[in-house]
C-alpha cells in the first residue's frame, strides 16, 4: 500500500493520540480498553470525516472544482466538516439535508446546524425524509454546471473508495503508533454507518498484513443490509490500493443489536454510555454514533466477548458538536458515579 502516491491535503498536524481508558477499564473489569482520539482530528470540531476529506478534497482540487456539494441528515457531522474543508481551501460549499422521519429543518437549531451558518454555507437544500438525496445532489450539480460553476460531488458520509482510503491510512497510523509504544491491539471497535470508516480500516490492516479484528457497531441498518455494503467497499478499496483481498464470510464483522429504533433514535444504552465516558474519563461522545458504539462495546464486555488480557481499541469518530442540539436527551441519569 503506497498511500503517498495519492494526492492528499493535510488537515491534522500530528497522529491522533491512543490512550488507555484506565478508569473505564477498571469499572467494566474486562479487557484493556484504549481509545483512538479521532475526535481531535483537524477542521472545525474534528471527527472521522476529516481523514476522508484529505483525499476527497485533494481530488476535487486536482479536477479544478470551485464548489463542493454533499449531503447528509439535518445534524450531519460530515456536512459540517466538508464545509469546513471547503472554506479552508477557498471553495464554495452547498448542502442537501434530509429531514428525519419525525424531525424537520429548523434554521435556528443548535449544534451542527448553527455551525453550517457560522462557517458560511453557500446554500442549503432541505428535502423530505425518504427523498433520494443522491438524485437531489446530482440536480444541484447540474444547476451549478449550467451557471458556469465546477461542482465536485461527495457522497453521503464521504464513503466512496477515496474516502475509505482515509481510514486505510488510519490503520497504518495505528500500526505505526503501536509499534513505537509496543502495544498489540487485538480488536478494533468502530461505528458502521455509511461504511467508509470500517471498510477503510479493514482494507488498511489487511494491506499491512496485520491481523487486527475490526468490529463495526451499526448505527442505522440491520446486518442483512450493512454487511454487503461494507464487503463491497472493502473489496473496491483494496483493489484501488492494489491490496490482494479475497472477501470471505468472516472478513466483515458487524453488530446490529445497538441500533435501537433506528438512525438518530436514542437508546438507554447510548445515554448510559455517553454519561459513563463523560463521568469516568471526561470524554464527550455523541448521541447518534459514538454513544451507540460505546453502548455496544460496554455490552460486549459485559457479555464476556473479550478475554481479560486482550487490548481493545475504540475509535472515537467524533460528533460531539451535535450534543448541543440533543441536550434534553441527557436529562435522565442512567449512569451515576
Ligand atoms: C461522528 C460520526 N461517527 C461515525 C460515523 C460513521 O462513519 P461511516 O459513515 O464512515 O460509517 C459518522 C458518519 O457520519 C459520524 O458523523
In tens, the pLDDT along 111-129 reads 999 999 999 999 999 999 9
The CB of 220 under 6 Å from ligand 1? The reply is no
Grid cell in block for residue 37: 482520539
Grid cell in block for residue 44: 472545525
Cα separation of 56 and 8, whole Å? 8
Crossing angle of helices 161-181 and 196-207, in 10° steps, is 50
Q: What is the CATH number assigned to the segment(s) 49-158?
A: 3.40.50.1100
Looking at the chain, the whole-number percentage of residues with pLDDT higher than 70 is: 100
Q: Is the dihedral of CA 243, 244, 247, 248 positive or negative?
A: negative
For residue 147, the CA-to-ligand 1 centroid distance in Å is 33
Which tens digits make up the pLDDT trace of 62-88? Answer: 999 999 999 999 999 999 999 999 999
pLDDT of residue 99: 97
The CB of 166 under 6 Å from ligand 1? The reply is no
Which tens digits make up the pLDDT trace of 133-157? Answer: 999 999 999 999 999 999 999 999 9
The yes-or-no answer on residue 76 being catalytic is yes
Nearest to 106 by CA among 74, 139, 142: 74
Q: What is the CATH number assigned to the segment(s) 3-47+160-331?
A: 3.40.50.1100
The CB of 221 under 6 Å from ligand 1? The reply is no
Q: Which residues in the chain show pLDDT less than 50?
A: none
pLDDT of residue 248: 82
pLDDT of residue 1: 83
Residue extent(s) of CATH 3.40.50.1100 domains in the chain? 3-47+160-331, 49-158
State the Cα torsion 240-242-246-251 to the nearest 10°: -70
pLDDT, mean over the chain:
97
Active-site annotation holder among 10, 76, 164, 322: 76
Whether 215 contacts 188, CB under 8 Å:
yes
pLDDT of residue 220: 97
Residue bearing the CA closest to ligand 1, atom 13 = 157
Amino acid at each position: 500500500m503506497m498511500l503517498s502516491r495519492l494526492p492528499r491535503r493535510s488537515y491534522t498536524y500530528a497522529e491522533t493520540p491512543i490512550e488507555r481508558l484506565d478508569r473505564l477499564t477498571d469499572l467494566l473489569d474486562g479487557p484493556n480498553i484504549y481509545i483512538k482520539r479521532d475526535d481531535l482530528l483537524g477542521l472545525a470540531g474534528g471527527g472521522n470525516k476529516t481523514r476522508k476529506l484529505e483525499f476527497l478534497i485533494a481530488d476535487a482540487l486536482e479536477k479544478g472544482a470551485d464548489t463542493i456539494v454533499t449531503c447528509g441528515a439535518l445534524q450531519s457531522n460530515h456536512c459540517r466538516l466538508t464545509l469546513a474543508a471547503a472554506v479552508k481551501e477557498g471553495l464554495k460549499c452547498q448542502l442537501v439535508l434530509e429531514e428525519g422521519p419525525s424531525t424537520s429543518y429548523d434554521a435556528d437549531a443548535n449544534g451542527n446546524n448553527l455551525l453550517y451558518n457560522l462557517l458560511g454555507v453557500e446554500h442549503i437544500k432541505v428535502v423530505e425524509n425518504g427523498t433520494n438525496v443522491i438524485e437531489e445532489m446530482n440536480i444541484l450539480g447540474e444547476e451549478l454546471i449550467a451557471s458556469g460553476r465546477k461542482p465536485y460531488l461527495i457522497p453521503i458520509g464521504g464513503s466512496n473508495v477515496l474516502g475509505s482510503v482515509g481510514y486505510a491510512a488510519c490503520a497504518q497510523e495505528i500500526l505505526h503508533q503501536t509499534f513505537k509504544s509496543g502495544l498489540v491491539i487485538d480488536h478494533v471497535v468502530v461505528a458502521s454507518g455509511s461504511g467508509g470508516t470500517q471498510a477503510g480500516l479493514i482494507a488498511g490492516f489487511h494491506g499491512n498484513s496485520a491481523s487486527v479484528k475490526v468490529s463495526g457497531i451499526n448505527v442505522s441498518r440491520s446486518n442483512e443490509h450493512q454487511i454487503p455494503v461494507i464487503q463491497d467497499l472493502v473489496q473496491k478499496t483494496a483493489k484501488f490500493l492494489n491490496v490482494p483481498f479475497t472477501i470471505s464470510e468472516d472478513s466483515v464483522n458487524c453488530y446490529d443489536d445497538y441500533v435501537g429504533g433506528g438512525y438518530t433514535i436514542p437508546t438507554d444504552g447510548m445515554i448510559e454510555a455517553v454519561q459513563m465516558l463523560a463521568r469516568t474519563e471526561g470524554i464527550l461522545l455523541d448521541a447518534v454514533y459514538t454513544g451507540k458504539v460505546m453502548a455496544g462495546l460496554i455490552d460486549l464486555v459485559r457479555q464476556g466477548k473479550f478475554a481479560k488480557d486482550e487490548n481493545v481499541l475504540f475509535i472515537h469518530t467524533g460528533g460531539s458538536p451535535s450534543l448541543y442540539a440533543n441536550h434534553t436527551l441527557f436529562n435522565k441519569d442512567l449512569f451515576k458515579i
